[in-house]
Amino acid sequence: MRVLLVEDNPILARSLTDALTSARLTVDCMHDGEAADHVLHTQDYALVILDLGLPKLPGLEVLRRLRARRNPVPVLVLSAHGSVEERVRGLDLGADDYLSKPFELTELEARARALIRRSHGHEPLRVQCGPLMYDSIDRSFSLDGAPLPLTPRERAVLEVLILRNGRAINKETLSEKIYGLDESVNADAIEIYVHRLRKKLEHSAVAIVTLRGLGYLLETKRQ
């Protein structure tokens, strides 16, 4: 899943990026409000983590413009001040949660996970497709009750598929959801990850099928 982090402090931005990456998220990081506003016009994210004290364009204005475009992406606001007035204004403009600096990285990660789950329609802690189980807390998979070993990219692809609730997704959209802005995007590489996943699932009752013109779909095998 892709997350947009907007933080102008380079040391804190690096620390937060490392923590979120360790939590198996793909992170794009912007350091000013104008850059964030621009990228939010063109990219889809599972979550935006937005500092308010930004150069070029204040964080609250980035938030206001985002909601004016009717973009429903969940937004976690960060602030060094944390005044009640500022918090109320941020929530009134459409923020979903608020975290005052300084904070513990574990709390940020927990709030991020909760917001992402909520954005998927109050997604349960565990999602199942036949014998395949996805745990949204630690973002791990098990197959027939045993841990399913996956590379980070394989996990990202399978995660998108299982959260689609039986809806197909084409490889171009899938690649946009798992690659960051600073990564070389190659939609054809998705075919490689899908092939590897199919090998790991081939002896189970769940499979990734290709629907011509629509893309990939995760489903249980017909008996």
pLDDT of residue 117: 78
pLDDT of residue 131: 94
Distance separating alpha carbons of residues 118 and 115, to the nearest angstrom: 5
Per-residue pLDDT tens digits for 9-40: 999 999 999 999 888 888 999 999 999 999 99
- Cα 94 to Cα 113: distance, rounded to the nearest angstrom: 18
* Contact yes or no for 209/170 (Cβ under 8 A): no
pLDDT of residue 124: 57
User: Do both 100 and 174 map to the same domain?
Assistant: no
Residues 54 and 146 in one domain: no
**Rounded CA gap, 180 and 184, in Å?**
8
19 and 114 within one domain: yes
Q: Say yes or no: 96 and 167 in one domain.
A: no
Residue 165 sits at φ, ψ, to 5 deg, of 55, 45
Residues 115, 8 within the same domain: yes
107 and 177 in a single domain? The answer is no
Q: Which of 57, 86, 119 is the last residue of a domain?
A: 119
168 with 187, same domain?
yes
Same-domain pairing of 108 and 130: no
Q: What is the pLDDT of residue 103?
A: 87
Which residue among 104, 119, 134 closes a domain?
Answer: 119
Residue 96 and residue 32 in one domain = yes
Could you tell me the residue range of the domain that residue 96 belongs to? 2-119
Q: The CATH number of the domain where 27 resides is what?
A: 3.40.50.2300
- Residue 182 is which amino acid? D
Single pTM value for the model = 0.69
Which pLDDT score is estimated for 27?
A: 92
Q: Which positions of the chain have pLDDT values less than 70? A: 81-83, 120-124, 184-187, 223
Instruction: Residue 137: give its domain's CATH number.
Output: 1.10.10.10
Same domain, 44 and 141: no
Report the C-alpha gap between 148 and 138 in whole angstroms: 13
| Domain boundary pick from 94, 119, 144 | 119
- 133 and 107 in one domain? no
**Tally of structural domains, the chain:** 2
